[in-house]
Structures are given as structure tokens and as C-alpha cells.
Amino acid sequence: MARSRDPETKPKKGLSRRDFLSRSAGLAASTPLVTGMGLAVPSGPAADVKILGPEKVPITLRVNGTTQTLNVEPRVTLLEALRDYLDYTGAKNVCDRATCGACTVIMNGKAVYSCAILALEAQGKDIVTVEGLSTGGKLHPIQAAFVEHDAQQCGFCTPGFVVASKAFLDRNPNPSMEQIEKGLGGNLCRCGTYVGIRQAVLTAAKAAKGGQSNG
């Protein structure tokens, strides 16, 4: 007959799982943070660093050629400042994590995700939104090309694609279809109108070149 095991009399070897977890938790709580080969010593902010917030602070943004002053909390993104404070609602808040491109604006000539940039960081930069592309009530050629090729459905991605296309053509005015596809890879269309979008960009490039394209 097999002998029963008595937990009270059986010698214990090492730590039980419960003892190990409880001791590890206590050790972690009492051990200072290790960074590299040394210890991270808590210290106050450097004397020469200006701390902003959490209250609102005044900032100045130059949007579509107009300089505007507003008061925002330091955590406010450029997208939020444009939409909620300045009423430029063309850029859309869709993914809010710099993935879809619906919030694209041009900053100092470069297409950027405005949801990933703090409004504070955009000060002193030239910002162009989709509202700033048309002049005198006349559509920009890339906007007209989007209409011509029906390059939109629900419309949420359209402003971002239009702005991204403008920035793309500014640096590559005579692109091939393959270059267009790669150049607009940072923008997503859930409706799948990529064919119309790419054709619109090719048409706008062709019109700018007097009818000549590299398609």
C-alpha cells in the first residue's frame, strides 16, 4: 500500500511558488530602478528647462498663410488645435495614432500626420491644410482631378489624400504610376478607391506639365 504524504512532516526543498512570488514582489518594491550599469537617481527638473502646463499656454500658428494666436494645453495635438480651436475641419481624426493619413497636413513643405505632432511643436512652421489649397473659389488642380476621377466615396480619407498628393507632386512633379503608389503609401482608404486616387494624381501631374506625363 502506498504511503500518504504528510505536508507537515515532509522536508521542504527550496521555496514554494507562493513564497517565491511574494518575496519577488517585495524585492521589486524595495529595489531602485537600474539604468544601464548605474542607478537612476531621482532628481528635480534642470534649472534651464522651462516647464509648461498643465494649464493652457499661448501659442502662435501660421496656417494657410495666416498667423493666429490661441491658448491650448501643452498636450493638445496640432490636429486638435486645427479642428477644435481654429475650425479647420478638413483634416480628419480617424485612427489618432499616425497610421491612416486622414489627418495629413503640409508642414514646411512636407506631408505630416497632424495627430502625432503637438501644437506647441508646430510653432514657427508654415502649415497648409486642405482648406488652403483652393484660391479665389477655384479648386487646386489635384482637387479638380479627384473630382474628375471620382476618387472618393465616404470622404473621410479624401482631404488627407489630397494634401498628401499635393506634397508628393511638389517634390516629384512627373511621377510614374508606381512612384505614385509608393509615394502615397502612408495614406489608407477603407473604401478602396486607390485606382481613382492614383489616376487623379497622374492627371494632375500631366496637367501641370502641359499634357506630358510619365505614366
- Taking the C-alpha atoms of residue 103 and residue 166, their distance in angstroms, rounded to an integer, is 14
Residue 166 has pLDDT above 60, yes or no: yes
pTM of the model: 0.74
199 vs 10: which has the higher pLDDT: 199
pLDDT at res. 208:
85
* pLDDT per position as a tens digit, 65-112: 999 999 999 999 999 999 999 999 999 999 999 999 999 999 999 999
Mean pLDDT taken over the chain: 85
The answer, yes or no, to whether residue 4 has pLDDT greater than 80, is no
17-51 pLDDT per residue, tens: 666 666 666 655 554 444 444 444 445 655 566 77
Structure confidence at residue 54 (pLDDT): 82
**157-183 average pLDDT score:** 97
Q: What's the pLDDT score for residue 132?
A: 97
Give 64's pLDDT tier (boundaries 50, 70, 90). very high
Q: What is the pLDDT of residue 32?
A: 47
Residue type, 193: T
Tens-digit pLDDT profile for residues 146-158: 999 999 999 999 9
Kindly report the three-state secondary structure assignment for every residue of the chain: CCCCCCCCCCCCCCCCHHHHHHHHHHHHHHCCCEECCEECCCCCCCCCCCCCCCCCEEEEEEECCEEEEEEECCCCEHHHHHHHHCCCCCCCCCCCCCCCCCCEEEECCEEEEHHHCEHHHHCCCEEECHHHCCECCECCHHHHHHHHCCCCCCCCCHHHHHHHHHHHHHHCCCCCHHHHHHHCCCCCCCCCCHHHHHHHHHHHHHHHCCCCCCC
